[in-house]
Amino acid sequence: MPAWVAKCFLSEQGSVRSGWKLLGFLLLCLSLGVVLNLSAKALHVPRLGWAFSAWINAAIAALASFICVRLEKRSFRNLGFHLGPRWAGELAVGAVGGILLILLMALVVRSLHGFHWERTATIGIPQVMGATWLLLGVAFFEEIMARGFPFQRLVEGVGSGLGQLVLAGLFALAHWGNPGMHGGAKVWATVNIALAAILLGFCYLRTGSLAMPIGLHFGWNWAQGTLLGFGVSGTTDLKGLWTPVFHGHPEWLTGGAFGLEASLPCVLICGAAILLIWRWKGTAHGIGTPKITASA
């Protein structure tokens, strides 16, 4: 193999560069999804609901991650799945943190007379449980994809700073197809989703585990949609226990139909949360802020 070709694909240590690992992971996920869809059609499997689809997507991402780490001769658990009491505790802390962040945003907007709440008569325990199962599956899927193998290999290759920025950009870009992504809402939502990605990235960096990012992601979405009735990244099909009735203020204040993620208060509160977790030293098994290398 010519030296320039080897240098393009391999680092100085002889390992595949992080960028190629990221591309390979994404192609593997896509391939597994295509195979599964074709198999389902051949077997005439009926179309599944949102919740089942979310968990199937999470399983595909986990399988692709498992294949990738086994090719590296590493353990799947080291991606952040050291299951046990500590993992469960970090999951719960993350969920509570996500709920509190959304509650704080909502209360700020409400204090500025942006909306008032009305109880949603058609939503009860069965609907809440169904939405909870769906949003937990979404959190597992998106965190395995965004803070799992791709993020961790980028951090190894280019350091935590650049790795955070790359994945934050990709995470925001992945939401551009969501309903309501237009005009001013698109600008504010893009900024806030990128900030949320950085916050979730720090949750992993400070704990070395995917438990807290998954919990925070779940609690954020659950409080925003299932509890308070706002849109969740533009998704308005989920109804909450409460329904916000807007008072005609600008969307940059309330987030409008897209949800609180398209509002100025989200920028301020998310920024403050990032500052707090950046200053936190983390847990004993956190990986901190790795030194920047040049193996991307």
Sign of CA dihedral 225, 106, 214, 94: negative
C-alpha Rg value of the chain to the nearest Å: 20
Residue 198 lies in a domain: yes
Residue 180 lies in a domain: yes
11 band by pLDDT with thresholds 50, 70 and 90: low
Q: Tell me which residue of 155, 148, 171, 138 sits closest to 25, measured CA to CA.
A: 148
**Residue 289: predicted pLDDT:** 46
Residue 295 lies in a domain: no
Give the Cα separation of 285 and 209 in Å (integer). 8
Give the Cα separation of 296 and 291 in Å (integer). 13
Q: DSSP class of residue 222?
A: I
Range of 258's domain? 13-279
Give the Cα separation of 101 and 95 in Å (integer). 10
Q: Which phi and psi (to 5°) does residue 38 adopt?
A: -65, -40
Q: Is the pLDDT of residue 293 over 50?
A: no
100-122 residue pLDDT tens: 999 999 999 999 999 999 999 88
Range 287-295 average pLDDT:
43
Q: Count up the domains in the chain and report the number.
A: 1
Half-sphere exposure of 250 (CA within 13 A, CB side): 9
Residue 232 lies in a domain: yes
Residue 98 lies in a domain: yes
- 3-state SS, residue 16: strand
pLDDT top residue among 181 and 130: 130
Residue 169 lies in a domain: yes
Residue 284 lies in a domain: no
Residue 80 lies in a domain: yes
Full-model pTM = 0.89
Give the Cα separation of 109 and 266 in Å (integer). 10
